[in-house]
Amino acid sequence: MKEKILVTGGTGYIGSHTTVELQKAGYEVVIIDNLSNSNEAVLDGIEAITGVRPVFVKGDCTDLETLKKLFKENPGIKGIINFAASKAVGESVQKPLLYYRNNLNTLINLLELMPENGVEGIVFSSSCTVYGEPDQNPIDETAPIKPATSPYGNTKQISEEIIEDYVKSGAPIKSILLRYFNPIGAHPSALIGELPLGVPQNLVPYLTQTAAGIRKELTVFGDDYNTPDGSCIRDYIDVVDLAKAHVIAMKRMLENKDTAAVEVFNLGTGNGLSVLQLINAFEEATGVPVPHKIGERRAGDIEKIWADPKKANEVLGWKAEADIKDTMRNAWAWQCKVTEK
């Protein structure tokens, strides 16, 4: 058995897929989640895929005492992957304090408890949102950080700074900041996937719900952008590829003594796809039509952004491998499973 890892937000979308990959790699996982945006039944899916049920603590990471108790009851945690956060961009504009409190207090509590509990490293879920609208694409990690366009985005920028300042102060920890591009898809088993509460804000869950007939039609937010077909471009990364990068990052942090105390990596495919291209890929992959119309631009949207993932490819030895059509088929299989229930 390898080291014990604490996965905060582990019943969430990316956390559940990462728990599967950590367990497959032999790590022992302890999850803490307050179930504010996920469901305990996710643990059944993780167990069905890996044969192992992770230790689960229902609790809130903004509560220091809960975390102290967790470390006491689960001694020997060597690394943390911090997924726990509120993540809806629009909601963060309406409720900024909720976002600052949840996302920042969670991180600060974890950082504070790491040294005294012998936790050596923390992987942090950051986002390409820190780059704002890029001056050029693909974008690499040396690109400037632009002013955040939402409180949510600002929590990611501030969190990166908090980690850097804490490490600079001499705290005996390491950290890897992973800047995700657009995670999509589901586990190929269709046993875990994304479970958006209410009306989805993100493209792929809205698309699959439309294909399933739950939503009447998908609105493409603008076709007058400066892109080949006029719709926005993103770098869509398969969630299983993304999950695997966390396992590599954790191993590097814990086992490689010569790496810098804080490292930053883009996690993307390196390919940009427009909204219309993604709809097309879904229809071709599944044969299921997606009723859609062109609508107004969505306020605050970035026109085009895709990753230069060279650093992650070369330094981590990680590469996004999934074919977009397989990713779309997995997203659809998961949607069908959820709709059946």
Q: Where does this chain bind ligand NAD (CB under 6 A)?
A: 8-9, 11-15, 32-38, 60-62, 83-87, 102, 106, 125, 127, 180, 182-183
Q: Which does 240 bind (CB under 5 to 8 A by kind): ligand NAD, ligand UFG, none?
A: none
DSSP letter string over 219-281? EEE-S-SSSTTSS-EE-EEEHHHHHHHHHHHHHHHHH-TTS-SEEEEEES-S--EEHHHHHHH
Going by C-alpha positions, the residue among 252, 7, 227, 215 that lies closest to residue 106 is 7
Q: Which lies closer to ligand UFG via its Cβ, residue 59 or residue 134? A: 134
Which of the residues 13, 131, 152, 236 is marked catalytic?
Answer: 152
Among positions 157-216, residues that touch ligand UFG (CB under 6 A) are 180-182, 201-203, 206
CB of 53 to ligand UFG, least distance (A): 29
Residue of 66, 189, 219, 259 that binds ligand UFG (CB under 6 A): 219
Number of helices and strands in the chain (H, E): 11, 13
**Are 236 and 324 within 8 A, CB to CB?**
yes
The CB-nearest residue to ligand UFG is: 232
Q: Which lies closer to ligand UFG via its Cβ, residue 30 or residue 195? A: 195
Going by C-alpha positions, the residue among 228, 241, 224, 272 that lies closest to residue 14 is 241
Amino acid 179 reads R
Q: Which does 62 bind (CB under 5 to 8 A by kind): ligand NAD, ligand UFG, none?
A: ligand NAD
Residue of 6, 85, 122, 128 that binds ligand UFG (CB under 6 A): 128
Q: Which lies closer to ligand NAD via its Cβ, residue 183 or residue 200? A: 183
**26 in helix, strand or coil?**
coil
| Count of residues in the chain | 341
Residues with Cβ < 8 Å from 245, sequence gap 6 or more? Answer: 178, 265, 267, 312, 316, 318
Q: Which lies closer to ligand NAD via its Cβ, residue 85 or residue 249? A: 85
Q: Which lies closer to ligand UFG via its Cβ, residue 19 or residue 209? A: 209
Q: Which does 157 bind (CB under 5 to 8 A by kind): ligand NAD, ligand UFG, none?
A: none
Q: Which does 301 bind (CB under 5 to 8 A by kind): ligand NAD, ligand UFG, none?
A: ligand UFG
CB of 140 to ligand UFG, least distance (A): 16
Q: Which does 35 bind (CB under 5 to 8 A by kind): ligand UFG, ligand NAD, none?
A: ligand NAD
152 classed as catalytic: yes
The answer to whether 218 contacts ligand UFG (rule: CB under 6 A) is: yes
**Are 185 and 327 within 8 A, CB to CB?**
yes
The answer to whether 234 contacts ligand UFG (rule: CB under 6 A) is: yes
Report the C-alpha gap between 181 and 59 in whole angstroms: 28
Q: Which lies closer to ligand UFG via its Cβ, residue 18 or residue 23? A: 18
Q: Is the dihedral of CA 291, 295, 300, 306 positive or negative?
A: positive
- Distance between first and last Cα of the chain: 36
Report the C-alpha gap between 316 and 309 in whole angstroms: 10
- Active centre residues (catalytic): 152
